[in-house]
Amino acid sequence: MELRHLHYFKAVAESGGFGKAARLLNVSQSAVSEQVRDLEAEIAVPLIDRSNRNIRLTPHGEVFLTRVKEVLQLADGAVTAARRSFRGEEGSLSIGFFVGGIGSSFPKLIHAFRQKYKDIAVSLVEMTPVAQHDALVAGSIDIAFTRALPGTLKAELRSEIFYTERLSLVLPKGHPLAERASISVQELRAERFVINDRKNSPAVFDKIIALCDEAGFSPNIIATASVSSGVIALVESGEGIALLPKGSQLLGSSELVFVPVQDAAASVDLVVAWSAKHERKIHQSFLSLARQFRM
Residues 164, 290: Cα–Cα separation, whole Å: 15
Write out the residue range of the structural domain in which residue 18 sits: 3-86
* Residues 158 and 274 both lie in one domain: yes
* Average pLDDT over all residues of the chain: 91
Could you tell me if 60 and 156 lie in one domain? no
112 & 254 share domain: no
Same-domain check for residues 104 and 127: yes
Query: Do 177 and 50 have their domain in common?
Result: no
How far apart CA 98 and CA 146 sit, in angstroms, is 7
pLDDT at 99 over 90: no
**251, 177: one domain:** yes
* Contact yes or no for 259/184 (Cβ under 8 A): no
Q: Give the domain-ending residue among 62, 86, 110.
A: 86
The CA-based dihedral angle spanning residues 291, 228, 158, 283, taken in that order and rounded to the nearest 10 degrees: -50
**DSSP codes of every residue in 192-243:** EEEEE-TTT-HHHHHHHHHHHHHTT---EEEEEESSHHHHHHHHHTTS-BEE
Same domain? For 34 and 50 the reply is yes
Q: What is the mean pLDDT of residues 46-70?
A: 87
pLDDT of residue 89: 67
Q: Which value, to the nearest 10 degrees, does the dihedral of the CA atoms of residues 211, 216, 220, 226 take?
A: 20
User: Does 87 score more than 80 pLDDT?
Assistant: no
75 and 99 part of one domain: no
Is the domain of 227 the same as that of 247? yes
- In this structure, are 23 and 33 located in the same domain? yes
- Number of folded domains that form the chain: 3
* 65: CATH: 1.10.10.10
Is residue 17 over pLDDT 90? no
Residues 238 and 103: their CA atoms lie apart, in Å, by 27
Which candidate, 248, 241, 228, 261, places its Cα nearest to that of 174? 241
The CATH number of residue 157's host domain is 3.40.190.10
Q: Give backbone dihedrals phi and psi of 20, rounded to 5 degrees, phi first.
A: -65, -40
| CA-to-CA dists, residue 174 to 110, 246, 255, angstroms | 39, 20, 9
Radius of gyration in angstroms for the set of CA atoms belonging to the chain, rounded to a whole number: 32
End-of-domain residue from the set 71, 86, 101: 86
Residues 123 and 170 in one domain: no
pLDDT at 267 over 90: yes
Final residue in a domain of this structure, among 64, 86, 108: 86
pTM for the structure as a whole: 0.70
Residues 156 and 282 occupy one common structural domain: yes
- Please compute the mean of the pLDDT values over residues 109-124 and round it to a whole number: 93
**Distance (Å, rounded) from C-alpha 238 to C-alpha 228?**
16
Arithmetic mean of pLDDT, 39-64: 86
- How many whole angstroms separate alpha carbon 157 and alpha carbon 96? 14
Q: Percentage of the chain surpassing pLDDT 70?
A: 99
